Amino acid sequence: MKIHEADARALFTKFGLPVPPSRLVLNPEDARKAAEEIGCPVVVKAQVLVGGRGKAGGVKLASTPEEAAAKAKAILGMDLKGIRVEKVLVARAVDIAKEFYVGMVIDRRSRKPLMMVSPAGGIDIEEVARTAPEKILKVVVDPAWGILPFQMRRMTASLSGDKETAKKIGPILAALYRAFMAVDASLAEINPLVVTPAGEVWAIDAKINIDDSSLYRQKEVAALRDESSEDRGEVEAREAGLSFVKLDGSIGCVVNGAGLAMATMDMIKHFGGQPANFLDIGGSSSPDKVLTAMRIILRDTNVKSILINIFGGITRCDDVATGLLEAKKQLGGDVPLVVRLIGTNEDRAREILRGTALIAAATMEEGVTKAIAAAKR
């Protein structure tokens, strides 16, 4: 789960990280007031859950409150990578002498938290990883210990030879680690961590992603979810216990199981079609879930046919087939539905579907090719 920069900054502040003061505002007048309160110069930053806001024109400096209002006016309502800017953050700007990158993830290879620091801050870290990976120091942190002093010395030394600066960075790294572990983050990033000409250290950007599986025990953080930036179908799917990702093809698919769902999308492409979505209804084959799934998919007018691919195993396929016919009746419409059911009583299921509005398929390949053909009609 992503959270807005404003919320990430608040969390960092809570854990003692040095974050410049800021206000979240919804209109230019409040931006002007905020700039007055905070003291100029300020930076006005679009609050949208996408990367590259700066490059897209969503981050602007302002040297007076009036200018802050003007910049806010320009940024609010902007379309940034498909999302409308509804809020901006007005934050005190600081002079930048040096920019570092500091971040933490859970490293899948070592199966431990991993801290990454680089003196090449203020730019896309993935670019640095590609072109100058030697500039990124990675330190595996053992949760039994936290960051050990020798690891801290390595990291601060790699960022700055200046003793005074190093003394300030250490506690920041420690606080980042504590924050990361406390909120079940999957990613926590400060890019850039800035050193001013006067030697102050500030975190002037903040990004935190939260492990979706931890939301049940992170109630406060879970409440920070901003659904307005998510695809409506994805929100609805999540609430119904489904996984949905919208793509831009014309063949919808409903599958039980994420791996099988990905393989279904891939097979559609393999046979010359374009998948319209990824949709996993989970381990069940319940017609209710399939109905919800189809409703979500059918909102997309690009969809010209839907393939329902269910590996039933011990689930009785004839029951599923009957349920699907019922669902189709409720759903109405004339988008062709191709159904591939495999498992107990699959022959009987195909009998039940014969001559109905649903097109039956015996294999996954047959289902995919029939769905592609049906979309062309």
Sole window of 161-169, 264-272, 327-335, 351-359 interacting with another protein (rule: CB under 8 A):
264-272
Judge contact between 203 and 176, C-beta under 8 A: no
Does 230 participate in catalysis according to the annotation? no
According to the binding rule CB under 8 A, does residue 245 interact with another protein? yes
According to the binding rule CB under 8 A, does residue 36 interact with another protein? no
Sole window of 158-166, 190-198, 276-284, 289-297 interacting with another protein (rule: CB under 8 A):
276-284
Q: Judged by CB under 8 A, which of 55, 77, 82, 109 binds another protein?
A: 109
Rounded to the nearest 5 degrees, what angle is found at the Cα of 372, between the Cα atoms of 369 and 375?
Answer: 150
Please enumerate, as own/partner, the contacts of 165-172 that have beta carbons within 8 Å and a separation of 24 or more.
165/195, 165/199, 165/201, 168/199, 168/200, 168/201, 169/100, 169/193, 169/201, 171/16, 172/17, 172/18, 172/102, 172/201, 172/203
Q: Judged by CB under 8 A, which of 74, 99, 278, 373 binds another protein?
A: 278
CA distance 365 to 104: 43
Sole window of 41-49, 80-88, 91-99, 275-283 interacting with another protein (rule: CB under 8 A):
275-283
Judge contact between 72 and 31, C-beta under 8 A: yes
Write down the H helix ranges in the chain.
Answer: 5-14, 28-38, 65-75, 125-131, 149-159, 163-182, 219-222, 232-239, 258-270, 287-298, 317-331, 346-353, 364-376
According to the binding rule CB under 8 A, does residue 83 interact with another protein? no
According to the binding rule CB under 8 A, does residue 49 interact with another protein? no
CB count, 10 Å around CB of 358? 18
According to the binding rule CB under 8 A, does residue 331 interact with another protein? no
According to the binding rule CB under 8 A, does residue 135 interact with another protein? no
According to the binding rule CB under 8 A, does residue 201 interact with another protein? no
CA distance 172 to 17: 6
According to the binding rule CB under 8 A, does residue 284 interact with another protein? no
Does 216 participate in catalysis according to the annotation? no
Secondary element (H or E) of residue 208: strand 207-210
Q: Judged by CB under 8 A, which of 39, 57, 197, 313 binds another protein?
A: 313
Active-site residue (options: 5, 67, 177, 189): 189
Q: Judged by CB under 8 A, which of 38, 364, 374, 375 binds another protein?
A: 364
According to the binding rule CB under 8 A, does residue 256 interact with another protein? yes
Nearer residue to another protein within complex by CB, 162 or 211: 211
Sign of CA dihedral 40, 44, 47, 49: negative
**Interacting residues with another protein (CB under 8 A):** 106, 108-109, 111-113, 126, 129-130, 143-144, 181, 184, 186, 211-214, 216-217, 243, 245, 247, 255-263, 265-270, 275, 278, 280, 283, 311, 313-314, 342-347, 363-365
Instruction: Show which residues are catalytic.
Output: 101, 189
